[in-house]
Structure formats: C-alpha cells, structure tokens
C-alpha cells in the first residue's frame, strides 16, 4: 500500500527566500507524481506533473524533481513571494486500479 | 471558462437528509472522480468514472452514489446524511484514467458539506 508523507507539515519563511518542500512515497513503482497548491477555501491547482521517466519539471519559479529509487520528490520555489502562501500537496499514482495517493500537505507561509 | 465546476460551494443540512452535489467539466476529459478531504486535509478517492465504468473505493458507504448522465457530468448523491459526512468534497477530471497522461488531474473548487 502506497503511503505519501510530506514534511514539514508547516513552514514559515521570509519573502525572497528559496525553499524546498519534500514529498516521500513508500512504493517506488509510480507512474507519475503531481504537485498541487490549495488556497484556503478553494480547490486544488495543478502545478507540475512529473512522469516516471522524467527527473524534473519546471514552471516559472517552480522546479519539481523526482527520484524514484529513493522514493522522493521535491518542489523548489525560488524567490518566494507572499502570494505563494498556500498548502502544497503531492500525489503519487502507482498504476492500474490503485488509487492516486495524496500526501497531507505542507502549509507554507511567506512573510512580507 | 471554469474547467471543472461543482455546485453548491457550501452545503449545510441536517442529519438524515438526502443531498446532491453536481460536477461538470468542459475539458473533454474521459474520466471524472470524487474525492473527500477530511479535517486533516487528507484526500481520499471515493469514485472514478471512466467510459461508463464505475470504480468504487470499497471503504465508501453505500449511502454515497455517483450518477453520470453524460461524460461531462458526475454528480454525487448522499442519502441519510450523518455527522461524519461533514467534509470538503472535490470533483476532478483527467484525460486518462488516474491522470496517467501528460496533464494529470484538474480539480474543482470543492463543496464544503456541514451536517448538523
């Protein structure tokens, strides 16, 4: 059974800092891993999707990496801004009719 | 312009009532899902519906039933609501089952259900 863990559960950083969010999964046989952000009272916005054959994906100030062998993915946010404050979730898909497994998220606060 | 829309956004109801949440996607995706997010922000799959094939998470009570009139809609019906059903329910869609393709999932904005 796939388990996805995100540490830390909460993170507070000053504006402008570069930061890394971590996502660990127990079953390395994943097909893809997706990063989302969730704003309070709102839905999930897809940020980046990494296929199992890829090692990283980039979008603007965001860079997500995937290391299947170690069961880890990281989301790097460069030059953080107050607008980046949200909860960040990763989700791993393990194949077949197994469900996509979500982590519990990291709540990020960027202080002006 | 909204890709995945669900209504209502908020729903407050009494125990024992029957309620429905609607979901529509205009992305032309083949698969739709319902997720439940509990108080600890943990997202769990409830149903997926792909090409008229329903896949059910065995932990979901049979008081919950999805209804899909067409590929663009997947509504969630809940009978005999209980206090423990209070949560945020998210609808999602993907082109390929479980978002295997290039675009992953697209989520709706959620419906906060409160049972009193």
Residue recorded with tokens 């309070």: A40
A-chain residues near B112 (CB < 8 A): 41
Q: Would you say residue B98 has pLDDT above 80?
A: no
* Shortest distance, CA B64 to any CA of chain A (angstroms): 18
Look at residue B50 in the predicted model and tell me its pLDDT: 84
Residues of A at the B interface, defined by Cβ within 8 angstroms:
31-32, 34, 36, 38, 41-46, 49, 51, 87, 89, 91, 93, 95, 97, 99-100, 102, 104-105
Report the percent of chain B where pLDDT is more than 70.
92
Output the pLDDT for position B82. Answer: 96
Torsion from C-alpha of A103, B56, B61, A94, nearest 10 degrees: -20
Strand partners, B54: B49
- The mean pLDDT value for B97-101 works out to 63
For residue A72, name the pLDDT band (cuts at 50, 70, 90).
very high
pLDDT average, residue stretch A24-51? 87
Q: Average per-residue pLDDT in chain A?
A: 91
Higher pLDDT, residue A99 or B86 = B86
Q: What average pLDDT is seen over chain B?
A: 88
Tell me, what's the pLDDT at A1? 79
pLDDT of residue B101: 61
Nearest to B109 by CA among B22, B47, B46, B49: B22
What b/e sequence results for B87-116 when a residue is b if at least 16 CB atoms lie within 10 Å of its CB, and e otherwise?
bbbbbbbbbebbbbbebbbbbbbbbebebe
What is the per-residue pLDDT for B34? Answer: 93
* pLDDT: which is higher, A108 or A1: A108
Among the partner residues A42, A93, A102, nearest to B42 by beta-carbon distance: A102
Greater confidence, A31 or A98?
A31
* Overall average pLDDT of the A48-73 stretch: 93
Spell out which residues of chain B touch residue A95, defining contact as CB-CB under 8 Å: 98
pLDDT tens readout for residues B22-72 = 999 999 988 899 999 887 777 888 888 887 788 777 788 999 999 998 889
CB contact under 8 A, B107 and A34: no
> Chain A: nearest CA to B80, how far in angstroms?
26
The pLDDT score that the predictor gives to residue A79 is 97
Inter-chain touch B98–A91, beta carbons under 8 Å: no
Q: Does B99 touch chain A (CB under 8 A)?
A: yes
Contact yes or no for B99 and A102 at CB 8 A: no
pLDDT at position A97, please? Answer: 57
A104 and B110: CB-CB below 8 Å? no
- Of the pLDDT bands very low, low, confident and very high (cuts 50, 70, 90), residue A2 is confident
Closest to A62 in 3D by CA, of A87, A31, A35, A41: A35
């Amino acid at each position: 059974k796939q388990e996805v863990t995100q540490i830390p559960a909460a993170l507070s950083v000053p504006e402008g800092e570069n930061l890394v969010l971590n996502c660990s999964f127990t079953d390395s046989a994943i097909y893809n891993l997706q990063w989302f952000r969730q704003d309070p009272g709102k839905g999930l916005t897809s940020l980046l999707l990494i296929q199992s054959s890829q090692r990283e994906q980039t979008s603007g100030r965001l860079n997500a990496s995937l290391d299947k062998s170690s069961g880890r993915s990281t989301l790097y946010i460069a030059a953080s801004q107050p607008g980046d404050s949200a909860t960040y979730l990763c989700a791993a898909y393990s194949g077949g009719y197994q469900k996509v497994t979500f982590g519990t998220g990291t709540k990020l606060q960027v202080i002006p | 312009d909204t890709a995945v829309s669900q209504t209502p956004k908020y729903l407050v109801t009494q125990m024992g009532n029957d309620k429905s949440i609607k979901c529509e996607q205009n992305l032309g995706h083949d698969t739709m899902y319902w997720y439940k997010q509990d108080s600890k922000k943990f997202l769990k799959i409830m149903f997926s519906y792909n090409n008229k094939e329903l896949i059910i998470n065995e932990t979901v009570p049979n008081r919950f039933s999805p209804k899909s009139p067409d590929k663009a809609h997947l509504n969630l019906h809940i009978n005999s609501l209980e206090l423990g059903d209070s949560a945020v329910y998210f609808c999602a869609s993907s082109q390929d089952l479980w978002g295997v393709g290039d675009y992953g999932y697209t989520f709706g904005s959620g419906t906060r259900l409160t049972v009193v």
